[in-house]
Amino acid sequence: MILQDKYINPFTDFGFKKLFGEEPNKDLLIDFLNELLPKKHTIEDLTYSKNEFVGNTSVDRKAIFDLYCKSTNGDRFLVEVQKAKQDFFKDRSIFYSSFPIQEQAQKGDWDFELSAVYTIGILDFTFADHKNEEDKFFHQVQLKDQDCNVFFDKLSYLYLELPKFKKEAHQLENKFEKWLYVFRYLHKLQERPVELQDRIFQRLFEVAEIAKFSSEEREAYNESLKIYRDIKNVVDSAKREGREEGREEGREEEREKGIIRLLQQGILSDEQIAEVYDVSVAYVSKLRADNQDTRS
């Protein structure tokens, strides 16, 4: 298969790790993170750490991150790209952030001082509860008290809803927006826009050019791209099907049948199906349980 794109898609597993997960390219990750982080946590250098954690007991869950790294002052960063919605995505973020916290525990006398932990989600979807906030694509979440004052500033969750970022190249106002533009449109570009002439973006475009890959890298990227496109096609097809069925008579019955079909296919999560048919996750979960009871 001949790839038509000139540059890789950062939302593929291979593409993201090629750009940001390899030691020779860590300057790209540092520059991107520094555009997100508060100045007090500016990264001078970082090291990549293992991206898999296992709990302290045999029954604990395992967590596998896209990227896990530490800055020279000990701050921890979990960086993940998410191609499609998942059930309890926010719960998953909280759970994953507990691992780099537990990792800091020290044997013997320890005063419990922690280094900062950042969980960064680069999302190829929008949150269902933020649908009406089309201009808010960046969310910074911290623990706050009843007066909305930050209670603990060493645990932060940063989310980028990329589908909401719709600026064209000539509208970009700062480097932060340039990075968002790269994530959103890199795989659609044939040439580097004049607005992305900074040296760091010159490096990125050189790394991202598919023609420079080895045959093994092209094969790996091709497989990663296929998985990404399959996921997107399933979601898009389900949305179209849901809209069409919603216009027919007997909307409630048809919608229920459509949801059950998607449940039986076993490809989409309850949250994704709820998004397709514009219903609650609880409604989808109930249909899943009812359908399982019927088959058993």
Q: What does the block give as tokens for 163?
A: 């589908």
Looking at the fold, whether 145 and 196 belong to one and the same domain comes out as: yes
Looking at the fold, whether 125 and 162 belong to one and the same domain comes out as: yes
pLDDT at 9 over 60: yes
Range of the domain at 233: 220-295
Percent of the chain with pLDDT over 90: 53
Using the 3D structure, point to which of 214, 237, 253 is the last residue of a domain. Answer: 214
pLDDT at 169 over 90: yes
Measured N-to-C along each axis, helices 251-265 and 281-295 cross at an angle, to the nearest 10 degrees, of 70
In the block, residue with structure tokens 């800091």:
104
Read off the pLDDT of residues 175-221 as tens digits, 9 standing for 90 and up. 999 999 999 999 999 999 999 999 999 999 999 999 999 999 999 99
What mean pLDDT is predicted for residues 38-45? 89
Q: What does the block give as tokens for 54?
A: 């296992």
Looking at the fold, whether 91 and 120 belong to one and the same domain comes out as: yes
Looking at the fold, whether 152 and 69 belong to one and the same domain comes out as: yes
Q: What does the block give as tokens for 48?
A: 């990549």
Looking at the fold, whether 178 and 268 belong to one and the same domain comes out as: no
- 3 domain-assigned: no
- 73 domain-assigned: yes
Rg (CA), the chain: 21
Which stretch of DSSP H or E encloses residue 138?
strand 138-144
Using the 3D structure, point to which of 176, 196, 214 is the last residue of a domain. Answer: 214
Looking at the fold, whether 112 and 243 belong to one and the same domain comes out as: no
The domain total for the chain is 2
Using the 3D structure, point to which of 163, 192, 214 is the last residue of a domain. Answer: 214
